[in-house]
Structure 1
Amino acid sequence: MIKDNQQHFNRLHVLVDAFVIATAYLLAWVIQFKILHHISGFVFKDYMLILIALVPGYLLLYAAFGMYTTKSVRRKRVELEKIVQANTLGLGLFMMAMFLLRWNTEFTTNFSRPMLFYFYGINIILEAMARNSIRLVLHQLRKKGFNQKHMILVGYSRAAEEYIDRIKANPEWGYEIMGILDDNVEQGMKYRGVQVFGRTEEIEETLETVKPDEIAITLGLSEYSKLEHIVAVCEKSGVHTKFIPDYNNIIPTRPYTEDLMGLPVVNIRHVPLTNTFNAFMKRSMDLVGSVCAMILFSPIMLITAVAIKLTSPGPLIYAQERVGLHNHTFKMYKFRSMDVQSPKKERGAWTVPNDPRVTKVGKIIRKTSIDELPQLFNILKGDMSLVGPRPERPFFVEKFREEIPRYMIKHQVRPGMTGWAQINGYRGNTSIRKRIEYDLYYIENWTLGFDIKILFLTIFKGFINKNAY
């Protein structure tokens, strides 16, 4: 039911967003041409025709930035960040389109660029106001008891606690948990105001007397022997029933299931990039993106090469062995930022603050991530990708595979120059466990739009590395 409610809620958001985008664009036109009296070679009709591509384009961007998922309605600050990020990328793509259409002199000459910036600011403000208004209206309706769904949980477990946490955090879903049936904890015990009021064997009588709208089975893993009986009782009563498994730390949030001639098969780990088409799309973006990046950053790479050569004897490029796709090792390229050392003296550890091995130029290029630019050649070779988990040295891989559960899953995809963990602050000498959590989320939730989002955020968060010494 939550999924159904969220789908209706998402459709409402899409319609509201389409209206807001069109309104913001129209207001930008009014400011530019009616209030400021700017003169343009385009007439009103010409500007409005652009909405045919602008509105669906922005809606796709909003979807790519996760603005139509339950996560985007939890915190106002997070939602505002997503609105700003999506609109900033939209502005950049629009300006890129104008650059690519420079052969069409009528369009590039007559279209008002100030109007585009007015639209950018107005759209962010109106979008934030619209979503806050929807949230406020929903909260008020739920407080007054409209469209509430009353439910009972069967089983007290980690799954029950996490489910209650989410229900409490999202009152706009309209769920009221009446209580819990459980055999292992004392009756009267409460979790966040939800009380255990009976045993699972009383479920049939409870359904007849309490008459809930829904049942959520949240049994602990050790109690699954009761599952078949409880499901049979619930279905016999006609009450809508859902099952929340108590092993979400084992399977992903969106497991990939197969129908094997009537036998359901749940894959423990779903990796979208094992799909041939997805892998082809990502590889195509890597090739195009790396070539464009080489051209764009060629002046910086040239200056860096000259600076290294003039200030420190030794090679320009440092090649270090790393572990990549399917646990295969490869040589990862970097601009040399340390004094030349013999392999025997090279320590199997990260650099530390004020590390004497780092050169003066090395300190600058490590802080700004310029030393990573030669990895564009690794991407062309197929060793790496623009986006993915950062690769580690074999020494650390052998160490972490024994210490950190699920660490080796990261090698099911190509390593990347940047990644979801890195733009969230987990670079250099930071928590490996948290880094793996972000890497696994990326691997299981990969989309082309997710890659574009990470590349875009890297511009703001990924270049300056406070943990690089």
Structure 2
Amino acid sequence: MKTSSCAVFTEGLASENRPRHFCPRALRGGALPCGAVFYLFSKRFFDLLFSAVALLFLWPLLLALAIWVRLDSDGPALYRQTRVGKNGREFEVLKFRTMSIAAEMESGPVWAVKNDTRITRAGHILRKLYLDELPQLINVVKGEMSLVGPRPERPFFYPLLEKEIPGFSRRCCVQPGLTGLAQVRQCHQASLGAVQRKFTYDIFYLRHRGFGFDLYIIWKTIDRVYLEFKEVLR
């Protein structure tokens, strides 16, 4: 596991031709190198500290958003959805509900699309500002997620993704993240082609992950949310 600078990131990403099967040797079994042990320990410590402090300071905002979602449309404020986590273990991810409660009753599980009619009025703003993901700080505290890592996918889509994207399950070598390299590189579309592009970024992250790289991704995420807020307030 290496800490990547922005220069290494740019050069390395440019040299990527196609995703390769990859799982860090240290995560497949056997003794962990000292550097890897320190990284994993510091990553978990930072996840806990950052998430706990964020929840402590953001609870008034979280409460206000929950009330807004509840008043905007019928249904609960929080939405639980099964996702695939580390080593293929399933868990329930928490989100503010951004769609109608009957969103998938007729269609079944489908990816959201641009201008999706199932999205509520409040949901459009929450999604644009990524505020719907804030409850996942609880998932981070529980150890089901990390602040940085590949975004978790729904188990319903996994058979298709594993068939169409060789080595897709390698993403499960690490904990899924609240944000990731693909997200800061503006890969937010939900389609098979978009998932393939995001997979390339996920593999790059796995090859170069380190505490410095994690901090870089967190910083870029905060910067992007700030820019989206400015655009909404115009």
Q: Which TM-score tier does this pair reach, normalised by the shorter chain?
A: 0.7 to 0.9
Tell me which of 51, 55, 60 is aligned to 1:290.
51
Tell me which of 215, 220, 226 is aligned to 1:457.
220
Change (3 A) 1:355 1:66: closer
Per the alignment, in what secondary structure is the counterpart of residue 356 of structure 1?
coil
Per the alignment, in what secondary structure is the counterpart of residue 132 of structure 2?
helix
RMSD: 2.8
Please state if 1:333 is matched with 2:94. yes
Per the alignment, in what secondary structure is the counterpart of residue 352 of structure 1?
coil
Aligned residues of 1:64 and 1:453 also touching (Cα < 8 A): no
Tell me which of 437, 447, 454 is aligned to 2:200.
437
Change (3 A) 1:342 1:424: closer
Aligned residues of 1:401 and 1:407 also touching (Cα < 8 A): yes
C-alpha distance in structure 2 between counterparts of 1:340 and 1:450, whole Å: 38
TM-score computed with the length of structure 1 as normaliser: 0.42
Structure 1, unmatched stretches of 5+, are 1-62, 76-161, 163-247, 252-267
Shift of 1:312: 1.6
Change (3 A) 1:333 1:71: closer
Amino acid at match of 1:311: D
Mapping of residues 71-82 of structure 1, within 5 Å: none
Shift of 1:313: 2.1
Per the alignment, in what secondary structure is the counterpart of residue 169 of structure 2?
helix
C-alpha distance in structure 2 between counterparts of 1:70 and 1:418, whole Å: 17
Post-superposition Cα deviations, 1:98-154, rounded to whole Å, max 9, x if no partner, equal: xxxxxxxxxxxxxxxxxxxxxxxxxxxxxxxxxxxxxxxxxxxxxxxxxxxxxxxxx
2:232 corresponding residue in structure 1: none
| Structure exhibiting the larger radius of gyration computed from Cα positions | 1
Change (3 A) 1:408 1:305: same
Please state if 1:65 is matched with 2:25. no
Tell me which of 172, 175, 186 is aligned to 1:425.
186
Please state if 1:270 is matched with 2:24. yes
TM-score computed with the length of structure 2 as normaliser: 0.81
Mapping of residues 35-50 of structure 1, within 5 Å: none
Shift of 1:374: 0.4
Aligned residues of 1:330 and 1:383 also touching (Cα < 8 A): yes
C-alpha distance in structure 2 between counterparts of 1:278 and 1:70, whole Å: 19
C-alpha distance in structure 1 between counterparts of 2:60 and 2:206, whole Å: 33
Aligned residues of 1:312 and 1:359 also touching (Cα < 8 A): yes
Mapping of residues 25-44 of structure 1, within 5 Å: none
Please state if 1:321 is matched with 2:75. no
Shift of 1:434: 1.5
Structure 2, unmatched stretches of 5+, are 230-234
Tell me which of 114, 117, 125 is aligned to 1:353.
114
Per the alignment, in what secondary structure is the counterpart of residue 425 of structure 1?
coil
Aligned residues of 1:372 and 1:417 also touching (Cα < 8 A): yes
Amino acid at match of 2:117: P
Shift of 1:461: 2.5
Among the aligned pairs, what percent are the same residue? 36
Please state if 1:414 is matched with 2:175. yes
Per the alignment, in what secondary structure is the counterpart of residue 319 of structure 1?
strand
Per the alignment, in what secondary structure is the counterpart of residue 287 of structure 1?
helix
Post-superposition Cα deviations, 1:54-87, rounded to whole Å, max 9, x if no partner, equal: xxxxxxxxx86345x5967xx9xxxxxxxxxxxx
Aligned residues of 2:19 and 2:200 also touching (Cα < 8 A): no
Aligned residues of 2:19 and 2:199 also touching (Cα < 8 A): no
Per the alignment, in what secondary structure is the counterpart of residue 332 of structure 1?
strand
Aligned residues of 1:423 and 1:462 also touching (Cα < 8 A): no
C-alpha distance in structure 2 between counterparts of 1:70 and 1:437, whole Å: 13
Aligned residues of 1:272 and 1:446 also touching (Cα < 8 A): no
C-alpha distance in structure 1 between counterparts of 2:209 and 2:26, whole Å: 6
C-alpha distance in structure 1 between counterparts of 2:185 and 2:9, whole Å: 20
Aligned residues of 1:272 and 1:278 also touching (Cα < 8 A): no
Shift of 1:396: 1.2
Structure number with higher relative contact order (C-alpha < 8 Å, ≥ 6 residues apart) = 2
C-alpha distance in structure 2 between counterparts of 1:437 and 1:447, whole Å: 17
Per the alignment, in what secondary structure is the counterpart of residue 386 of structure 1?
strand
Amino acid at match of 2:174: V
Change (3 A) 1:373 1:392: same
C-alpha distance in structure 1 between counterparts of 2:63 and 2:19, whole Å: 47
